Every structure is written in C-alpha cells, then in structure tokens.
Chains A and B, each alone.
Chain A
Amino acid sequence: MKTVPYFTLSLMLMASAVLAYEVGQTCFSKQATTPLLATADREAAKVGTVEWGKPLKVLAEQGRWLQVTDGDTKGWVYAGNVSSVKPPAENKNDFLPTTAADTTAAVAARPLSESSKKYASRKSLGEAAADVEWAEKQADAVTRAQVNTYMQEKGLGDYGK
C-alpha cells in the first residue's frame, strides 16, 4: 500500500520534469502552421489549424502532447511545436525568401553567401571556406525523410508518446 503514493508521486514528478507547461498556462505556436489534432497522436484527425504566434491555452497534458484551445477550437498539439514564451516577430522572417532570386528550393538550401565567399577570399581562408561548403553539402544530403525515419526509429518528436 505504501508504494502506491510513492509511485503516484514519481509519476507526477516525471510528468512535471518532461514538460514545462501547466494547465491554464498560455503557450504560442512557433511553426508556420500548427495542426490541432483530435487526439494526442500524429496520425489523429485534424480538427483545426493555428498560425504562427497564436496564443493557446493549455487544457491538459499527456506525455509530450498538450491539449490546447485557441478560444474557438480545442485540440492536441505536440509540445515541441509551441513555446512557453511569445516568439519574437523577427522569427517570422525565416518563412520568407530573402531575395528576388529565391525559390522555394533555394530557401530550403541556402549555400554559403557570395559575401561570405568574398570575405574568405579577402582573408585568404579559401581552404576553410571549402570545408564549410563540404559540411553544407553533407548536411543538405540528410533529407527531411531521412530525419523522419531516424525520429521514428528512436521515438522522437511527435513519433513518441
């Protein structure tokens, strides 16, 4: 009998250690769009969508998932998709192209900028610039699908519970 309260206490401590949110607290969407799901499962039906920066009230938590409401719709979001503090307005720039030449693909894989290449040239750091470009190519070769597979295998992100 004595183990039950300790077990319960342990579960409560584990829960509070996992997430930094409390029921009633406000959190903010930090993705361009964040789906509100019917249950705490990435495969659950979408009941709504909230845009970047939208304040959401936490109603409940389950593992790494939060049940929230935007005032109109109630749904579940993965905790990694929201922030406990309001994201700065400048973060929205990340969603936008930076020049007229930018395409969606270019935005997704920006190479070392011309100004950085010229800097390396002025400083005689061509070898280091080549190393950075090697690193960029290696990094860009790791696709979103490969990251998804890794996360799925490890139970990370919204693949976990």
Chain B
Amino acid sequence: MKTAVALHALLLALFIGSAHAQFGLDVDPFKLASGATKIAKGSSGVGLKEEMSIGGSVAVEIVAMEGGVWKDEAATRRVNLIGKSLARYSDRPTLQFRFAILNTDIVNGFSAPGGYVFITKGAYLAAENDDQLAAILAHEICHVTRRHALRIISRSEFISGVTDVAAGSSGDFAAYDMGVDKVTNTMLKTGYDSGSEFDADRMGRELATNTGFARNGLVTFLQKLQTLKLDNKSIFSTHPDLSERIEKLGGTASTTAKSSSSDEESGSALLKKSSR
C-alpha cells in the first residue's frame, strides 16, 4: 500500500506542472507537490483514482439491482442538461458527472462516488417540471460532493483493497469487492444515516437555488409524493420519512399523507404512466 501511495504522490508531483498549464491553476506547483500525498488522499483517505474505481463498480451494482438503465435518449439528455447545469456550481465543479435513469417504477434517486447520478423512471415521470427534477438531482450531487459514500469506505477495513485494486496492481480483490458491497448495501438497502440525508437536502436546495432553479423544488416534489397511493417501499425507501424531510426544509407536510383527493394522481395511475 505504501508503494501505491508513494507512486500516486510521484505521479501527482510529475503532472502538477502540466495541470497548472492546462487548467490555469494559480498555485505554486512545487509547494503543492511537496504535499501531494496529503492532498491526494485527503481527509476521506480515498484519492480521485480510487473514487472513480469504486464509483464505477458501485454504479454497475446499482444498475444491476435496479432494473438496468432506461435507454430513452431524450429523457437521458434532459437529465444531463439539468444535472450538468447544477454540477457546474457544485462544490466539485470539474468532476465528470454523468446522469442516467434507472428502468424501475419506484421513486428514488441514487449516486455513486466519482459523479454517477441515477434517478428512477418513477421519479423522472413523477416530477412535474425541471425545478423538481433539479431538486432530486441536486440532492444526489451533494451526496457525491460531500463524499458521503466514501466515508463508508475510508472508515472501514476495505481501504487498502480499494487502493491497490484501483491502482491496477493485483491487490486484494476480496477486500475491494467487500468495499463495493458495503457501499452498495448502504445505498440500496439501509440508506445513509439521516444526518447525511438532511445534509444533502439542505445543500442540494442551496445548489439548485444558486443555479437558478426554484428553491422549493424538493419540497413541492416531496409534497406531491405524499399524495400518491404508493407504499413506503416505492417512494424514497432509502431516505428519511417524507414529512420529516419537508418539515426540515421549512415546508408543510401533509397531515393526511398518502390519502387521495379528487385532483391528485393516484399511485396506480403513475405506475401505469411510467410503464410506457
């Protein structure tokens, strides 16, 4: 592992000069190079190369477990236009974000390290406008920029496996695979801790607002979901309760959540609509 870290630092030191020229970084390259190891790994203990590796593998797992990718080119283009607008003003503006739609009727969103952001077809079709789509995507972008998933890896025993395998060495595949499994399990089954979710709600709202989308996009979307006759497993099952999220964002939660009214769209209608 020490060899991999030293190699990473050496490569960074060698190429910081060219990065300085290519990206216009107005920093002292020698000063930066001297602290390359510290910067390369950062507080999460995972560098960008490792993040891209673990993120790609987690993305594969998410796609495999959530019905595959919905290959609607127009819809995918739309979420990428909205998502890339948001990403430009995120806390990691040069990270290569990719946005895709999962071919499932449940309403949910997922993200993987490295910039992979997914929303489900159910969420895409339930969103009434770009503001609500932006709110869902901004929430997921903030999970990436705040490195919520990487914290799971960095504080676990899997970090050495991730580092070695991502570096291309033979490495400990078992440790790497267990690391991917731990992140995937958190995302698809247990969900993040509520603190991380509320953090992503709050930061996502700021990101959407700063980009120029409506500030209340997430609240109005969550309020709409409250009116749908869908069971808990079908609506943001890996996220905190809708009412709690709405109230923490300063909105008013429905006291008759999931009850129907004359003008609301029923869950069954939504599912029928989304199955096209």
Spell out A's residues near B (CB within 8 Å). Answer: 17-20, 30-33, 49, 51-52, 64, 78-81, 83, 87-100, 102, 104, 108-110, 112-117, 119-120, 122-123, 125, 127-129, 131-132, 134-136, 138-142, 144, 146-147, 150-151, 154-157, 159-160
A-B interface pairs (CB < 8 A), number? 199
Tell whether, in the assembled complex, residue B168 and residue A108 are in contact, meaning their CB atoms are under 8 Å apart: no
Complex CA–CA separation, A140 to B99 (angstroms): 10
Q: Is the CB of A134 within 8 A of B89?
A: no
> How many whole Å from A51's CB to the nearest CB in chain B?
4
Q: Are B57 and A115 in contact (CB under 8 A)?
A: yes
User: Is B195 an interface residue, CB under 8 A from the partner?
Assistant: no
**CB–CB B212/A154 < 8 A:** yes
Find out whether the CB atom of B85 lies under 8 angstroms from the CB atom of A150. yes
Contacting residues, chain B, for A51 (C-beta < 8 A): 25-27
25 pairs of residues in contact across A and B, judged by CB atoms under 8 Å = A19-B209, A32-B25, A64-B212, A79-B210, A80-B207, A80-B211, A83-B91, A87-B91, A90-B41, A93-B40, A95-B23, A96-B12, A96-B48, A98-B49, A110-B114, A113-B52, A114-B168, A116-B53, A116-B57, A129-B60, A132-B60, A138-B76, A138-B77, A142-B80, A154-B85
What separation, in Å, do the CA atoms of A134 and B116 have in the docked complex? 13
Among all A-B residue pairs, the 3 with the closest Cβ atoms? A90-B42, A80-B89, A116-B56
- In this assembly, does B269 line the interface, its C-beta being within 8 Å of a C-beta of chain A? no
CA distance A94 to B91 in the complex (A): 11
Looking at the assembled complex, report how far the CB atom of A160 sits from the nearest CB atom of chain B, in whole angstroms.
5
**A115-B91 in contact given A99-B49, A132-B60, A147-B81 (Cβ < 8 Å):** no
Provide the B123-143 mask, 1 if CB < 8 A to any CB of A, else 0: 000000010000000000000
Question: How far apart are B153's CB and chain A's nearest CB, in angstroms?
Answer: 14
Contact of B43 among A19, A90, A115 (CB under 8 A): A90
Residues on the B chain within 8 Å of A147, using CB: 81, 84-85, 88
Interface of A is mostly: helix
Q: Are B91 and A97 in contact (CB under 8 A)?
A: no
- Judged by a CB distance under 8 angstroms, whether B1 is at the interface is no
Interface centre among A20, A96, A151, A157 (most CB of B within 10 A): A96
Q: Inside 8 A of B85's CB, which chain A residues have their CB?
A: 147, 150-151, 154, 156-157
Cβ contact within 8 Å between A80 and B88? yes
Residues from chain A with a CB closer than 8 A to the CB of B114 are 110
Do A116 and B60 touch (CB < 8 A)?
yes
B3 at the interface (CB under 8 A from A): no
Contact partners of A17 in chain B: CB under 8 A: 209, 215
**Is A97 touching B212 in the complex (CB atoms < 8 A)?**
no
A93 touches B39 (CB 8 A): yes
Do B166 and A113 touch across chains, with their CB atoms under 8 A apart?
yes
Decide if A102 touches B42 in the complex (CB within 8 Å): no
B26 x A155 contact (CB < 8 A): no
- Is A135 touching B69 in the complex (CB atoms < 8 A)? yes
Cβ 8 A contact of A154, one of B14, B76, B130: B130
B231 at the interface (CB under 8 A from A): no
Q: A89-B42, A125-B64 are in contact. Are A94 and B213 (CB under 8 A)?
A: no
B-side contacts of A31, CB under 8 Å: 93
Q: With A64-B212, A132-B69 known to touch, is A93 a contact of B42 (CB < 8 Å)?
A: yes
Per-residue interface assignment for chain B, residues 200 to 230, with 1 indicating a CB less than 8 Å from any chain A CB and 0 otherwise: 0000001101111101000000000000000
Q: Cα distance A114–B49 when bound, in Å?
A: 11
Residue on A with the closest CB to B51? A93
**Chain A residues with CB below 8 A from B94, complex form:** 32, 94-95
Q: Which of B58-76 contact A (CB under 8 A)?
A: 59-61, 63-64, 68-69, 71, 73, 76
